Structure 1
Amino acid sequence: MSSTTDESTGIWATIKGAPLPVKALLVGVFVNKLGWFLQVFLVLFLTTSKGFTDVQAGTALGIYGGGSVIGLIIGGSLSDKVGPRAAVMISMFGMAAFVLGIAYVPSYTAVLIVVALAGAVGQFYRPASAALLTELTPKNRQVMIFAVYRLAMNLGTTAAPLIGAALVAISWNLLFIGEALAALAYATVAIIALPGRKPPAVADDTVDDTAAPEPKGGYLAVLRDYKYVLFLVCMFINAAIYMQYLAVLPLHMKSEGLSTWWFSAVVALNGFIVITCELLVTKVVQHWPARIVAIIGFVLLGGGLAFYALPGGVAIFVIGTLLWTLAEIIAGPTMFAYPGMAARPKLLGRYVGSAHAMFGLGSALGPFLGVWVWNNAGTRVWVWCGVAGAIGVVLAYFGMSSGADTAAEEPAVDITPASEPLPSESS
């Protein structure tokens, strides 16, 4: 590969060369994640401020997670039907309203309803944002732009608990007001800077009338893409075993007589490496075939978690964490960019939404499965994580493209700016 190509897909070249809507989207997502308080503080709010039991609070958190998975599926369909910009606006305005409602609804039943709606509506934006990044970014820069997108989200979610703790020290209501304002900020970005989509009736006369019609069946059309279904299973497995660092790892370290400080240290090590190194690693691996990147990721993820089964104390936990962290920074951007590469243009939102939903489902079910295996089989849970990683290798080999994806070469969805281009766009 030529050095010119390498430079054109570098970190700063990708950010600088991104159109204004992409830059605005990245800023909007970052600001929105700065206000990501609800999932972090929901249990504390319901137990300390509302007076509900631990079980009731945990149930509410689980319902929020379930609503989030459903919201990702709906968000993908919504993005295809009304366009990413409208889907983001609906998501953020709805999230602002429901988050504020949680603080004021009078009964536990009402809390569950509003929490479920907040979880669902608040996730509409994710498939829409990812679809828009795909539509507006050249193919050779898509993995890098998703790495930048992940960085924006990681920075926001890292800072959010600290900001939330400061707000809670003043008032619980201020916490919910803060999250609502963050959502409204992203909605404002969508209104001002994100592009709208031309309805079919106003498409210009140069459009080829012989082009393939919009595929029928919605998500059923996605499921008919059997190779992509294998990739969706990859996303589920990836998330399910990845989440064991939050579910089983603290239990294992505690059983070894290690303090909570050691667990916090290895989690912080992961976060530090992801934030500081992912873009640099992506600069190299973005040029590799997506299937190869995913296979390497599963080998390192499954191997890193299986490494925890070995005796050796703190060193084993540190080395294992380094291995699966390397998996995250190598494969993460590619795995989340791949749905846009594999999608049929008229189903872009659904392809993206289904991938996010499967990752969300794995994130929700993984901790329950991991703790159950830990309680029944002890450290063998890590061996099973290694086996799951090996299954992921096989699924990635058969389910992902080995080279240039033909579907991704079809024309992107027709979009037009929501307003007149700014001077910086016309240069």
Structure 2
Amino acid sequence: MTSTDESTGVWATIREAPVPVKALLVGVFVNKLGWFLQVYLVLFLTTSKGFTPVQAGTALGVYGAGSVVGLIIGGSLSDKVGPRAAVMISMFGMAGFVLAIAYVPSYAAVVTVVALAGAVGQFYRPASAALLTELTPKNRQVMIFAVYRLAMNLGTTAAPLIGAALVAVSWNLLFIGEAIAALAYALVAIVALPKRAPRTAQDTTADEPEQAGGGYVAVLRDYKYVLFLLCMFINAAIYMQYLAVLPLHMKADGLSTWWFSAVVALNGFIVITCELLVTKVVQNWPARLVAMTGFVLLGGGLAFYALPGGVAIFVIGTLLWTLAEIIGGPTMFAYPGMAAPKRLLGRYVGSAHAMFGLGSALGPFLGVWVWNASGTQVWVWCGLAGAIGVVLAYFGMSPTASTEETTAPDITPAAEPLPSESS
């Protein structure tokens, strides 16, 4: 199949995607509709459980730490038992732990269950991304990840509104709702996702012995990919400043919360409405070029906030880094599947998601610390970090044999034969 506009367009990619890919898109959308725990955990623990704000904030931090660990474990689990089984384990486990949060009696028990929910609830992400990679032709992978991101963004955007309606009735109903959403994704996995055939000796080539190159050690030996992992960390760490430092800066400039809400809403609107269209243009660019362009716009957009000029500066800066997100996001998350050896696909994907999660967790802390120390100079540091990302992307995402190799997916259908990928 050639990489033409027709074969890689938005609707062609969705229409001709195999049934399991469509099921993944629906499943993650439904699951994100029930994404309540992280949004409402602090309020639940302070208003319903009677814990202090510090205790609630600590629990939220533990949830984030558990999520990073879960992404790493999920990548290994996907390689060992297959994406379908990993998604099922994740969603069944998440449903149980989420329900337990509402009923465990002590703070120690709450923190323990929250950590487990954060970890187990993330197993599905490397597995889902690995399966998208396995089932999608290489020339359509960037586009399918853009569609996947859209499904996640739509679900995540609607979830707080649904959660507010459930909380108005009962806190317990909130946790029941998230458990139901997780079980719905588990049902999708059971019915529509393909089983992976057991690994055989032929799956390990002579130049990739399983014992010598297995596990995350093999990922770390790929020095170019390690540079890419640093790209993911930097990307997330500076991206999160729009939630950590931007509201502090706008408040310091005398702007109301409404203006901050408006620029955040502007970002969300552009991402949801424009990312697929932009991806249609950039999906056939070299991944390294896309990533470098994204870092230039991300670092430049955040550095733009350091200029004087009031609301206009905040709007223009937001437009710049939002453009970075819609240009670079799908490619950055599709790249691990392009770079990974087949037998380590889950670990390559899991490590990338984990580094992004780690950057998302540490970025706000670092940003606020720099803001308190140097004020608007924090945006200059973000620009410099973006420049480092450009260099890392240049050296870490250079073409390799693994990114050009095409292998048939080692899976068998669970329910019905997969549609042909021919056009």
Instruction: Tell me the SS of whatever aligns to 2:213.
Output: coil
Kept in 1: contact 2:88–2:190 (CA 8 A): yes
The equivalent residue for 1:186 is 185
Q: Structure 1 residues 314, 423: closer, same or farther in 2, change over 3 A?
A: closer
Instruction: Tell me the SS of whatever aligns to 1:200.
Output: coil
TM-score (norm: length of structure 1): 0.95
The equivalent residue for 1:395 is 392
Deviations 1:59-87 (A, max 9, x none): 00000000000000000000000000000
Counterpart-to-counterpart distance in 1, 2:117 and 2:404: 33
Q: Which amino acid aligns with 1:179?
A: E
Counterpart-to-counterpart distance in 2, 1:81 and 1:411: 18
Question: Which stretches of structure 1, 4 residues or more, deviate above 6 A after TM superposition?
Answer: 206-211, 422-427
Q: Which residue of the other structure, out of 361, 366, 370, is the alignment partner of 1:369?
A: 366
The equivalent residue for 1:420 is 416
Kept in 1: contact 2:75–2:349 (CA 8 A): yes
Q: Which amino acid aligns with 1:246?
A: L
The equivalent residue for 2:49 is 50
Q: Which runs of 5+ in 2 are unaligned?
A: none
Q: Structure 1 residues 306, 208: closer, same or farther in 2, change over 3 A?
A: closer
The equivalent residue for 1:327 is 324
Deviations 1:168-187 (A, max 9, x none): 00000000000000000000
Q: Which amino acid aligns with 1:57?
A: A
The equivalent residue for 2:23 is 24
Counterpart-to-counterpart distance in 2, 1:200 and 1:122: 26
The equivalent residue for 2:276 is 279
Instruction: Tell me the SS of whatever aligns to 1:5.
Output: coil
Kept in 2: contact 1:343–1:408 (CA 8 A): no
Counterpart-to-counterpart distance in 2, 1:45 and 1:222: 39
Counterpart-to-counterpart distance in 2, 1:133 and 1:5: 20
| Counterpart check, 1:295 vs 2:268 | no
| Counterpart check, 1:260 vs 2:257 | yes
Q: Which amino acid aligns with 1:278?
A: E
Counterpart-to-counterpart distance in 2, 1:263 and 1:85: 40
Instruction: Tell me the SS of whatever aligns to 2:195.
Output: coil
Kept in 2: contact 1:346–1:413 (CA 8 A): no
Kept in 1: contact 2:138–2:406 (CA 8 A): no
Q: Structure 1 residues 234, 209: closer, same or farther in 2, change over 3 A?
A: closer
Shift of 1:128: 0.2
Q: CA RMSD in A?
A: 2.0
Kept in 2: contact 1:85–1:196 (CA 8 A): yes
| Counterpart check, 1:216 vs 2:238 | no
| Counterpart check, 1:100 vs 2:99 | yes
Counterpart-to-counterpart distance in 1, 2:10 and 2:98: 35
The equivalent residue for 1:69 is 68
Counterpart-to-counterpart distance in 1, 2:419 and 2:8: 24
Counterpart-to-counterpart distance in 1, 2:171 and 2:359: 31
Q: Structure 1 residues 423, 327: closer, same or farther in 2, change over 3 A?
A: closer
Correspondence list, 1:177-256, <5 A: 177-200=176-199, 212-214=208-210, 216-256=213-253
Aligned residues: 422
Deviations 1:133-153 (A, max 9, x none): 000000000000000000000
Shift of 1:213: 4.2
Counterpart-to-counterpart distance in 1, 2:389 and 2:422: 45
Counterpart-to-counterpart distance in 1, 2:150 and 2:43: 27
Q: Which runs of 5+ in 1 are unaligned?
A: none
Kept in 1: contact 2:341–2:402 (CA 8 A): no
Q: Structure 1 residues 334, 253: closer, same or farther in 2, change over 3 A?
A: same
Kept in 2: contact 1:240–1:366 (CA 8 A): yes
Identity %: 86
Counterpart-to-counterpart distance in 1, 2:203 and 2:49: 57
The equivalent residue for 1:128 is 127
Kept in 2: contact 1:9–1:141 (CA 8 A): yes
Counterpart-to-counterpart distance in 2, 1:425 and 1:122: 31
Shift of 1:6: 1.1
Correspondence list, 1:112-127, <5 A: 112-127=111-126
Q: Which amino acid aligns with 1:28?
A: G
Counterpart-to-counterpart distance in 1, 2:270 and 2:422: 37
Counterpart-to-counterpart distance in 2, 1:63 and 1:167: 24
Q: Which amino acid aligns with 1:421?
A: P
Instruction: Tell me the SS of whatever aligns to 2:35.
Output: coil
Q: Structure 1 residues 216, 142: closer, same or farther in 2, change over 3 A?
A: same
